């Protein structure tokens, strides 16, 4: 056995491979041949049975004694002359043998469970009977046979069965002979392969042993040489260490001094870079109110420069409101204070809202006059505008919810009281129509609120894609608004039916929001025009009104959440969410929503949707 672990593994693997191939031949290939032989015999039996059924029309009648065609003997005889059919029997539905190549069996009854539970239910039953073994009916055979029952089905009923006995003795012998002829060469090949591996392993082991001995001698000589070199090296190292120690002391002192200077320069550069990159204005004063630091943003905002450093802050600040506020905080020395003020930055006419925040500045040894103060100036115009829009939205949403709720409560009380009987059935239906319309309006507002809350939370809008007819949705939505009777509607659909793959409920929500806006901002009697058509791989819908229109600035912000072009008390009612929700729904479909508007001439909303979602 080789000593090298790799050679051992190769040798073990060779033994396993040499043994597995013959075992594979005996345990898998030979049984597979036998099984294939049986399957082919069963299929041949079934084909012959089907042939008899078609030729003699056995599936068109209930088989009974005396109804067996006379030609069956000729057909079976021809097959027995040329094939390996040893016996054939024809059974009636009750298991009675109506025909057999062994005439003595005619009239016997097969009452075995397999005939009743398997064959009579339309399933083929087959069994391989070894030589000197017993068939399914208990008869002993002298050869290897395949016993097969093939049911005869007609008009959905069991009409009888055909049983065949096929002799497979010769075929099995041929398969066994083939297996022996293939196994012997395979065994010889595996044995030769194993012998070659053994010889090669022995030769490789001898070579590896000689190499290991040579390496061992080389290692011993190398160790001796390294010992001598190490001894001389230690002597040189001792002398070198003394010299290095003296040099290191001087170098460390120089490096420490240089490092301190560099850290100081880097710290100043970083602080200057940070202050220069901060967009907010920053001022720092000492305990006596003199300016210690001013960043570029504060220089631009207040129109001062670095010459202000060292001067009193109250002399530097130009806006009187800001100067009075900040200078009033200096003697008090409050830890944190916040205040808002308006100021028009250089080059701008409109003032913006800024927030000032002050906090104490502790100067350590320089605090003879007390702690200083840091003043941070931030532009909060956008935040204040958002807060104002949210407040306006809450007031408007409360109004939008209260109006339909008042109608619902009023009509509900009217219909639920005893006086409801004083109204006619037509009036009651009219009241219920009012209730339904107001409930639908509430539902739309709640849907918009839920959608906008998901959007504000960063959640995606779930879409249920499926094919649908956009034409039907357009007709239904326009029809609902036509019933209101306040505006004439023109619906134009170019071409045939428009089919889309998307979320029909969400697309209908987009159309309702667009039509609702068109109706709100159009004068009474103003025409609302809807045009739809297909352009290439997209569907384009245009909703136009004859309303008040918008300025370019209003059109740029029309899809912002809570934004309303006219938020005054006399403005048209609305929550300011419809177009924002519509924009997000169209984007979720992979489409585009655009606006074209001109003051006094109306607005056109253009929706472009893909006919099918992108892969």
- The C-alpha atoms of residue 563 and residue 202 are separated, in whole angstroms, by 90
Q: What are phi and psi of 591, to 5 degrees?
A: -105, -165
Q: Which of 174, 129, 130 is nearest to 148 (CA)?
A: 129
Confidence of residue 506 (pLDDT cuts 50, 70, 90): confident
pLDDT of residue 582: 86
**What are residue 606's phi and psi, to 5 degrees?**
-115, 120
Residue 10 CB contacts under 8 Å (≥ 6 apart), including other chains: 197, 201
Q: Please give the residue that has the higher pLDDT: either 418 or 217.
A: 217
Q: Are 121 and 115 in contact (CB under 8 A)?
A: no
**Residue 570: what pLDDT?**
41
Higher pLDDT, 264 or 155: 155
Confidence band for 529, pLDDT divided at 50, 70 and 90? very high
pLDDT at 256 exceeding the cut of 60: yes
> Token digits for 545?
């009104």
Using CA atoms, how far apart are residues 145 and 94, in angstroms rounded to an integer?
25
With 70 as the cut, is the pLDDT of residue 128 above it? yes
DSSP per-residue codes, 436-466: HHHHHHHHHHHHHHHHHHHHHTTPPPP---E
Does residue 188 carry a pLDDT above 70?
yes
> How far from 235 is each of 155, 245, 297, CA to CA, in Å?
111, 16, 66
Of the candidates 553, 556, 482, the residue with the CA atom closest to the CA atom of residue 518: 482
Reading the block at residue 54, the tokens are 């078609």
Angstrom distance (rounded) from CA 580 to CA 558: 8
Q: What are phi and psi of 336, to 5 degrees?
A: -135, 135
SS (H, E, C) 528-594: EEEEEEEECCEEEEEEECCCCCCCHHHHHCCCCCCCCCCCCCCCCCCCCCHHHHHHHHHHHCCCEEE
What confidence tier does 218 reach under pLDDT thresholds 50, 70, 90? confident
Q: Looking at residue 569, what is its pLDDT?
A: 40
**Strand residue runs (E) in 32-107:** 85-91, 97-100
Where residue 571 falls among pLDDT bands split at 50, 70, 90?
Answer: very low
Look at residue 117 and give its three-state secondary structure: helix
**DSSP tally for the chain: helices H, then strands E:** 14, 17
Contact 179, 30 (CB under 8 A): yes
Q: Domain 1-247 is classified in which CATH homologous superfamily?
A: PAS domain (3.30.450.20)
CATH topology of domain 466-610: Heat Shock Protein 90 (3.30.565)
Q: What is the pLDDT of residue 544?
A: 94
369 band by pLDDT with thresholds 50, 70 and 90: low
> pLDDT band at 402, cuts 50/70/90?
low
**CATH H-level, domain 278-379: superfamily:** PAS domain (3.30.450.20)
What per-residue confidence (pLDDT) applies to 370? Answer: 66
Cα–Cα distance measured from residue 443 to residue 437, given in angstroms and rounded to the nearest whole number:
10
Write down the pLDDT at residue 352: 80
Question: What value does the mean pLDDT take over residues 550-559?
Answer: 86
The answer to whether the CB of 68 falls within 8 A of the CB of 92 is no
Query: Does the structure show a pLDDT above 70 at 585?
Result: yes
Residue 445: partners with Cβ closer than 8 Å, 6 or more residues away: 397, 400, 401, 575
**Is the Cβ–Cβ distance between 581 and 561 less than 8 Å?**
no
Instruction: Check whether 594 has a pLDDT greater than 90.
Output: yes
Q: Given this model, what pLDDT does residue 4 score?
A: 63
pLDDT grade for 367, boundaries at 50, 70 and 90: low
Pick the residue with more confidence: 115 or 368? 115
pLDDT of residue 401: 61
Lowest-pLDDT range of 270-274, 527-531, 532-536, 601-605: 270-274
What are the tokens at 126?
């087959």
The residue ranking higher by pLDDT, 169 or 397, is 169
Mean pLDDT of the chain: 79
Question: How many Cβ atoms are within 10 Å of 197's Cβ, its own excluded?
Answer: 18
Count CB neighbours of 196 within 10 A. 11
540 pLDDT higher than 90? yes
Q: Is the pLDDT of residue 220 over 80?
A: yes
Domains 1-247 and 278-379 share a fold: yes
Q: What are the tens digits of pLDDT across the range 144-185? A: 898 999 998 888 888 899 998 888 888 888 888 887 777 788
Domain 385-444 belongs to what architecture? Orthogonal Bundle (1.10)
pLDDT value at 499 more than 60: yes
pLDDT at residue 599 above 60? yes
Q: What is the pLDDT of residue 135?
A: 84
Give pLDDT tens digits for 8-63.
777 777 777 777 777 777 777 778 777 887 888 888 888 888 888 888 888 887 78
The better pLDDT of the pair 516, 539 is held by 539
What integer pLDDT is reported at residue 532 of this predicted model?
93
- Domain boundaries of the chain, sorted by first residue: 1-247, 278-379, 385-444, 466-610
Q: Determine the angle formed by the axes of helices 425-456 and 578-588, rounding to 10 degrees.
A: 70
Residues 469, 510 contacting (CB under 8 angstroms): no
514 CB contacts (<8 Å, ≥6 apart)?
543, 579, 582, 605, 607
pLDDT digits (tens, 9 = 90+) for 476-492: 888 888 887 788 999 99
pLDDT at 395 over 70: no
Strands (DSSP E) along 346-420, which ranges? 352-361, 372-379
* Confidence band of 573 (pLDDT split at 50, 70, 90): low
């Amino acid at each position: 056995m080789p000593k090298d672990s790799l050679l051992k593994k190769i040798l073990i693997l060779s033994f396993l491979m040499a043994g597995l191939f013959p075992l594979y031949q005996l345990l898998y290939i030979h049984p597979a041949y036998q099984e294939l032989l049986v399957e082919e015999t069963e299929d041949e039996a079934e084909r012959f049975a089907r042939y008899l059924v078609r030729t003699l029309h056995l599936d068109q009648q209930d088989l009974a004694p005396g109804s067996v065609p006379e030609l069956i003997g000729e057909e079976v005889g021809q097959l027995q002359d040329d094939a390996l059919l040893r016996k054939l029997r024809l059974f009636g539905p009750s298991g009675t043998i109506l025909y057999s190549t062994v005439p003595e069996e005619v009239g016997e009854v097969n009452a075995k469970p397999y005939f009743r539970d398997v064959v009579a239910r339309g399933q083929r039953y087959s069994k391989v009977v070894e030589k000197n073994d017993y068939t399914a009916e208990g008869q002993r055979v002298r050869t290897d046979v395949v016993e097969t029952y093939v049911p005869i089905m007609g008009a959905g009923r069991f009409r009888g069965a055909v049983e065949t006995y096929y002799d497979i003795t010769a075929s099995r012998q041929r398969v066994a002979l083939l297996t022996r002829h293939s196994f012997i060469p395979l065994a010889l090949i595996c044995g030769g392969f194993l012998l070659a591996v053994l010889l090669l392993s022995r030769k490789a082991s001898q070579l590896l042993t000689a190499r290991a001995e040579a390496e061992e001698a080389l290692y011993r000589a190398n160790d001796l040489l390294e010992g001598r070199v190490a001894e001389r090296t230690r002597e040189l190292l001792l002398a070198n260490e003394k010299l290095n120690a003296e040099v290191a002391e001087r170098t460390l002192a120089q490096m420490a001094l240089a490092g301190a200077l560099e850290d100081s320069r880097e710290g100043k550069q970083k602080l200057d870079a940070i202050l220069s990159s901060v967009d907010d204005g920053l001022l720092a004063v000492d305990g006596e109110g003199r300016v210690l630091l001013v960043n570029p943003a504060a220089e631009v905002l207040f129109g001062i420069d670095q010459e202000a450093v060292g001067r009193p802050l109250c002399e530097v600040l130009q806006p009187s409101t800001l100067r009075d506020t900040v200078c009033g905080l200096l003697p008090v020395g409050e830890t944190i204070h916040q205040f808002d003020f308006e100021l028009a930055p250089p080059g701008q006419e409109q003032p913006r809202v800024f927030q000032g925040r002050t906090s104490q500045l502790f100067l350590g040894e320089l605090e003879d006059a007390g702690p200083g103060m840091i003043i941070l100036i931030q532009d909060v115009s956008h935040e204040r505008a958002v807060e104002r829009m949210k407040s306006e939205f809450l007031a408007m949403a409360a109004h939008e919810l209260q109006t339909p709720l008042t109608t619902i409560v009023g009509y509900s009380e009217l219909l639920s009281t005893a006086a409801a009987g004083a109204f006619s059935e037509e009036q009651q239906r009219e009241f219920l129509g009012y209730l339904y319309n107001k409930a639908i309006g509430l539902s739309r507002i709640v849907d918009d609120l839920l959608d906008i809350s998901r959007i504000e939370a960063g959640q995606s809008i779930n879409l249920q894609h499926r094919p649908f007819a956009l034409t039907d949705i357009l007709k239904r939505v326009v029809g609902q608004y036509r019933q209101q009777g306040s505006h004439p509607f023109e619906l134009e659909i170019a071409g045939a039916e428009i089919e889309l793959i998307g979320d029909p409920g969400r697309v209908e929500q987009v159309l309702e929001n667009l039509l609702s806006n068109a109706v709100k901002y159009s004068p009474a009697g103003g025409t609302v025009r809807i045009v739809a058509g297909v352009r290439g791989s997209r569907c384009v819908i245009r909703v136009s009104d004859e309303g008040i229109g918008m300025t370019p600035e209003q059109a740029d912000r029309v899809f912002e959440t809570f934004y309303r072009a006219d938020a005054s008390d006399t403005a048209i009612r609305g929550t300011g969410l419809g177009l924002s929700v519509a924009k997000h729904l169209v984007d979720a479909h992979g489409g585009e929503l655009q606006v074209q508007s001109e003051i006094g001439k109306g607005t056109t909303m253009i929706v472009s949707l893909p006919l099918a979602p992108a892969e």
